[in-house]
Amino acid sequence: MSINELMLIVFLINIPFGYIRSNAEKFSRKWMMAVHIPVPFVFLLRIFSGLNWTVIPLLVLSDVAGQIAGGKLRK
């Protein structure tokens, strides 16, 4: 799996969580869960794709972009 494919998958995984997060009170349990539940999936995807730790900043950007896009869908 290439880094571009992985970034797209991470982005798509985070859209529904961003949607949920945008309706939760900031720093509530629901908000924290919506932010942190996708992280283990992203970690496992990176490990199984065979990419090393140097791609983590790009995956974090994809993660944040997916959260923002999901939040904008609600509005």
Report the C-alpha gap between 55 and 47 in whole angstroms: 11
The domain of 35 spans 3-74
Q: What pLDDT is stored for residue 4 in this prediction? A: 95
The structural domain count of the chain equals 1
Report the C-alpha gap between 7 and 39 in whole angstroms: 13
Kindly report the pTM of this predicted structure: 0.91
Q: What pLDDT is stored for residue 20 in this prediction? A: 95
**At 54, which helix (H) or strand (E)?**
none
Report the C-alpha gap between 16 and 35 in whole angstroms: 11
Q: How far is CA 62 from the centre of its chain?
A: 6
The pLDDT tens digits of the residues spanning 12-69 come to 999 999 999 999 999 999 999 999 999 999 999 999 999 999 999 999 999 999 999 9
